Amino acid sequence: MICYQSFADINIYDSPNFTSLATQMAKGRYLRILQPEILQVQLLEDGYVGFIRNLFNLERVEYSYQYEHISEPEIRTRIPKAIAYVQTAMDRENEYLWGGTLPPNFDCSGLIQAALYSAGIWLPRDAYQQQEFTTPILREELQGGDLIFFGLGSKANHVGMYLEGDRYIHSSGKEKGRNGIGINSLTDKDKISMHYISELRGFGKVVKSYNSLQSVF
CATH number of 2-62: 2.30.30.40
Question: What fold characterizes domain 72-205?
Answer: endopeptidase fold (from Nostoc punctiforme) (3.90.1720)
Tell which residue, 9, 2, 49, 3, has the closest CA to residue 28.
9
Cis check for the bond before 104: say yes or no (omega within 30 of 0): yes
pLDDT at 89: 98
Two domains, one topology: 2-62 and 72-205: no
- Sequence-ordered list of residues with C-beta below 8 angstroms from that of 91, at least 6 positions apart, any chain: none
The residues facing 182 across adjacent strands are 170
The domain locations on the chain are: 2-62, 72-205
| Cα→Cα distances 148→6, 16, 136, 187, Å | 32, 33, 10, 14
pTM, entire model: 0.95
Strands (E), the chain: 2-6, 10-13, 21-25, 30-35, 40-43, 49-51, 58-62, 101-102, 105-106, 135-137, 147-150, 158-164, 167-172, 180-185, 200-205
Q: What angle do CA 170, 174, 179 make, to 5 degrees?
A: 50
Give the integer Cα–Cα distance in Å for 196 and 61: 44
Tens-digit pLDDT string for the chain (217 aa): 789 999 999 999 999 999 999 999 999 999 999 999 999 999 999 999 999 999 999 999 987 777 789 999 999 999 999 999 999 999 999 999 999 999 999 999 999 999 999 999 999 999 999 999 999 999 999 999 999 999 998 999 999 999 999 999 999 999 888 999 999 999 999 999 999 999 999 999 999 999 987 666 6
Taking residue 82's Cβ as centre, other Cβ atoms within 10 Å add up to 24
